[in-house]
Structure 1
């Protein structure tokens, strides 16, 4: 049984496994393909060492969630996962029943491996399904087909208490009717959580070059907004309302780890390219690790960590980040916490204008949320409030 959400910001541990079997053409994450076997024992020892360093910096904490992301963490051996989870439990207080998530690709799913992850302590899997038709899976560069995706979903539902999977929409030529049918099919297979992302064209990816060369087109802003509205309508009608811009869950099944980010909690990040944000000696700091896996590994072995960048956040930066993250949530933000971080109230005149435009709305006397229309233009809303 996964512990009940206590609504506090929380403290999490993010572990980044940077390796993939193939690089998807839309992906700008820190992921790398290696054609020789990865020395998992050596990397596991490095994760253990960096966790110990992060414990020295964060001090004693109670962990509310652990997230093994990537990359493709389901390429890890269960023994590697077990070593990392054991190290987290040694360094901090890890209560029974906290959410421990592992990202998995359907193409790297095996029943024995899934059972090994479960035995190591993983109690939630997030599957990168991305589409439920084979033509679009091929376009997205995925290594699995629909049958393999459905097999992986079935295995995950059988083995883990909690399951989520991702889909990408606003794909080339996708009609609202086709997306609604695919979404309803997905809901029929989902246990309790779906992450539904619009296809975006990120600089530095193969899709960026192909899109610039007009090899394919994605829906324009108006059509994408229609697909977004349809997504929220269909999921809500089937009992998985949006609790965040792109995330939908049955009440009580929200991702605890992602709620730490959106509620502006604290987290340490370990692994190549991982970011952390936590309070050290009374100041909220950012840590950024070296992105290249082998360079990170050498750094950790030489000095106990791979952190190569970061900063101390000012009160203004903290307040701006709090707004940007918290207004993504359906529950919105606590206005008193914003005032404590920023040292000022949100400007009444700007709030009045945004409310009049139907972009934000009060929640009782103490909270503020973005409306469904405000979510679509959230960056502009936050920029206006933060001025």
Structure 2
């Protein structure tokens, strides 16, 4: 029988998977060579008062479109949100509370880089209402941190993690593996070290070489070589073995947590929930006139800022999603989770159930498990997730 990772979270989430607010802060001190996120360096500085006012205004506009929703989570992502002044974070949270209402048990996460951490700033975030920090450690190897373009060293990362754990109730850390030249022995030692100090949540991402990044250019020129598929698969399986032995469950392809410590905001995405996306380059899924609608704001900060100040929002795209798009998106996202896909929820969104014969074939092949009204991909087939999803797509 399948069980949910966290029944309390599942109970709070409604039949749409819950509701959250995502706030994008696009600014960084420098651009990492592997990063294809919407992030920008502004050496002349950022007018935080002006951006804070724009974030609040866009939030107020979008909240009017979703007046009946109370968020179970708020997530400040980037970019580097730990470059935000605590007063900026506080202003946005006050606006969310005023317009939508923040439940007492809401999860409020802020991403932070160890290089931009200081005690007074962390204490300011905590006072503003942040109760969870996601720390971008990325590596516990100084040479690899340099290669990844990070501005911190291992000692700084350790100190930042210890500081975060003293100030915030919940702390997560990120690491990147399958780095150039990385062996299973080196990764086992590094991950073991992180498991000893990380707390209750780890996001462990395989390095991917994305187009339009510095690493992409280096790889095309033959100057950057990452582990091949077989070596990367070995690192993936090792990751699962070590985290499981340490008491962590892989509740999503790249995310591992002790019981009750799953990231609630990301579960909104993976369970097919709704969320407001505010700030430059933010994406959202909201209801407009009863129709699930995809939104995206202007990516360039200056264009977004001008639009918000002129119109009250920075939307560049707003698309009513067709039923098949809604169902496909839910299929793709939910099968990343260890809890899997709720068959009745899929059928409601698609207007028809998944093909029973395909499901049976995949179960007989060991690529799916079924129970409690759900299907999920077993750990033994996780490396084939994309193939399983393609097979199930109508």
For the criterion TM > 0.5, the same-fold answer is yes
Q: Does 1:204 align with 2:208?
A: no
Q: State the distance in 1 between where 2:10 and 2:341 align.
A: 16
Structure 1 partner of 2:243: 235
1-structure distance, mates of 2:380, 2:226? 21
Aligned counterpart, 2:226: 218
- Tell me the distance in 1 between the aligned counterparts of 2:118 and 2:338: 36
Residue of structure 2 equivalent to 1:171: 179
Question: What is the rounded CA distance, in whole Å, between the counterparts of 1:288 and 1:253 in structure 2?
Answer: 29
Moved more, 355-364 or 125-134: 355-364
Q: Does 1:191 find its partner at 2:195?
A: no
Which residue in the other structure is 2:4 paired with?
none
SS across alignment from 1:25: coil
1:219-266 CA-partner distances (Å, limit 9, x unpaired): 111111111111011101101110000000001000000000000000
Instruction: Give distance in 1, aligned partners of 2:69 and 2:364.
Output: 43
Q: Residue 62 of structure 1 aligns to a residue in which SS?
A: coil
1:97 shift after superposition: 2.2
Distance (Å, rounded) in 1 between the aligned partners of 2:8 and 2:173: 21
Q: Give the aligned partner of residue 270 of structure 1.
A: 278
Q: 1:151 maps to what in 2? A: 159
Match of 2:374 among 356, 367, 372: 367
2:390 corresponds to: 383
Q: 1:177 & 1:184 partners in 2: Cα distance?
A: 11
For 1:320, what is the secondary structure of its paired residue?
A: helix
CA-based RMSD of the aligned residues comes to 1.1
Of 308, 314, 324, the residue aligned with 1:306 is 314
Q: Report whether the alignment pairs 1:80 with 2:88.
A: yes
Separation in 2, partners of 1:241, 1:96? 26
Instruction: Mark the runs of 5 or more structure 2 residues left unpaired by the alignment.
Output: 1-6
Cα contact 1:17–1:272 (8 A) shared by 2: yes
1:260-293 alpha-carbon deviations (Å, 9 max, x no partner): 0000000000000000001221110000000000
Q: TM-score, normalised by structure 1?
A: 0.98
Q: Is the counterpart of residue 114 in structure 1 residue 122 in structure 2?
A: yes
How far apart are 1:59 and its partner, in Å? 2.3
State the match for 1:134 in structure 2: 142
Partner Cα separation in structure 1 for residue 318 and residue 236 of structure 2: 34
Partners in 2 of 1:350 and 1:57 — Cα distance?
39
- Cα distance in structure 2, aligned partners of 1:184 and 1:42: 44
CA deviation after TM superposition for structure 1 residue 379, in Å: 2.0
Shift of 1:352: 2.0
Query: For the residues of structure 1 that align with 2:386 and 2:336, how far apart are their CA atoms?
Result: 10
1:103 to 90, 101, 111: 111
Deviations 1:115-153 (CA, angstroms, capped at 9, x unpaired): 000000000000000000101000100000000000000
Higher deviation after alignment, 221-230 or 266-275: 221-230
**With structure 2 as the length reference, what TM-score do the two structures score?**
0.96
Q: What is the number of residues matched between the two proteins?
A: 384
**TM-aligned CA deviation for residue 372 of structure 1:** 2.1
Unaligned 5+ segments in structure 1 are: none
For the Cα contact (< 8 Å) 1:58–1:278, is it kept in 2?
Answer: yes
The residue matched to 2:338 in structure 1 has which SS? Answer: coil
Give the deviation of 1:74 after TM superposition: 0.2
**Are 2:346 and 1:342 equivalent residues in the alignment?**
no
8 Å CA contact 1:171–1:199 kept in 2: the answer is yes
CA distance in 2, matches of 1:355, 1:90: 48
1:29 maps to: 37
Measure, in 2, the Cα distance between the counterparts of 1:80 and 1:36.
19
**TM superposition shift of 1:110:** 0.1
Greater displacement, 154-163 / 216-225? 216-225
Give the SS at the match of 1:129: strand
Q: Take 1:187 and 1:89, find their aligned partners in 2: how far apart are those partners? A: 35
- Three-state SS of the structure 1 residue aligned to 2:9 is coil
Kept in 2: contact 1:359–1:372 (CA 8 A)? no
Distance, in Å, in 2 between the alignment partners of 1:290 and 1:167 is 29
Displacement after TM superposition at 1:4 (Å): 4.6
Secondary structure in 1 matching 2:215: helix
CA contact (8 A) 1:193 1:254 kept: yes
